[in-house]
Amino acid sequence: MPIEIKRLCHTYLAGTAGEKAALKDIELNIEKGEFFGIIGHTGSGKSTLLQHMGGIMPPEAGTVIVDGYDFADKKQRIEGRKKVGLVFQYPEYQLFEETVAKDIAFGPKNMKLEQEEIDRRVRRAMELVGLDWERFAEKSPFELSGGEKRRAAIAGIIAMEPGYLILDEPMAGLDPAGRRAILDMLSGIRRETGCAVIMVSHSMDDIAAYSDRVAVMQDGSIIRTGTPAEIFGGEIDLEAMGLELPAASYLGNLLRSKGMDVPEIYTIDGMAEYLLGRRQGA
Q: For ligand ADP, which is the closer residue by CB, 128 or 215?
A: 215
DSSP annotation of 34 reads -
Q: For ligand ADP, which is the closer residue by CB, 48 or 201?
A: 48
Q: How far is the CB of 86 from ligand ADP (least distance, A)?
A: 13
Put the strands of the sheet holding 3-12 in their side by side order.
20-30, 3-12, 61-66, 69-70
Q: How many Å is the maximal CA-CA distance in the chain?
A: 66
Q: How far is the CB of 243 from ligand ADP (least distance, A)?
A: 11
Per CB under 6 A, the list member of 7, 12, 56, 176 interacting with ligand ADP is 12
Q: How far is the CB of 231 from ligand ADP (least distance, A)?
A: 17
Amino acid at 76: Q
13 is an interface residue for ligand ADP by CB under 6 A:
yes
Q: What are the φ and ψ backbone dihedral angles of 170, each rounded to 5 degrees?
A: -70, -15
Contact code string over 37-76 relative to ligand ADP, x by CB under 6 A: ---x-xxxxxxx----------------------------
Q: Which helix (H) or strand (E) holds 223?
A: strand 221-226
Closest CA to 139 of 154, 150, 152, 129: 152
Q: For ligand ADP, which is the closer residue by CB, 12 or 93?
A: 12
Cα–chain-centroid distance for residue 130? 19
Torsion of CA 84, 3, 196, 206, to 10 degrees: -110
Size of the site for ligand ADP (CB under 6 A): 12
Q: Would you say the C-alpha torsion 152, 106, 97, 88 has a positive or negative sign?
A: positive
Per CB under 6 A, the list member of 4, 6, 20, 251 interacting with ligand ADP is 20
Q: For ligand ADP, which is the closer residue by CB, 180 or 224?
A: 224
Burial 92-109 (b: 16+ CB within 10 A, else e): beebeeeebbbbbbbbbe
Q: How far is the CB of 251 from ligand ADP (least distance, A)?
A: 27
Q: For ligand ADP, which is the closer residue by CB, 46 or 77?
A: 46
CB neighbour class for 248 (10 Å; exposed up to 12, middle 13-18, buried from 19): buried
Q: What are the φ and ψ backbone dihedral angles of 17, each rounded to 5 degrees?
A: -65, -25
Q: How far is the CB of 106 from ligand ADP (least distance, A)?
A: 26
Q: How far is the CB of 171 from ligand ADP (least distance, A)?
A: 16
11 is an interface residue for ligand ADP by CB under 6 A:
no
Q: How far is the CB of 218 from ligand ADP (least distance, A)?
A: 10
Per CB under 6 A, the list member of 3, 5, 8, 22 interacting with ligand ADP is 22
CB neighbour class for 139 (10 Å; exposed up to 12, middle 13-18, buried from 19): middle
CA–CA dist 57, 49 (Å, integer): 9
Q: For ligand ADP, which is the closer residue by CB, 26 or 66?
A: 26
Q: For ligand ADP, which is the closer residue by CB, 12 or 142?
A: 12
Using CB under 6 A, list all residues that contact ligand ADP: 12-13, 20, 22, 40, 42-48
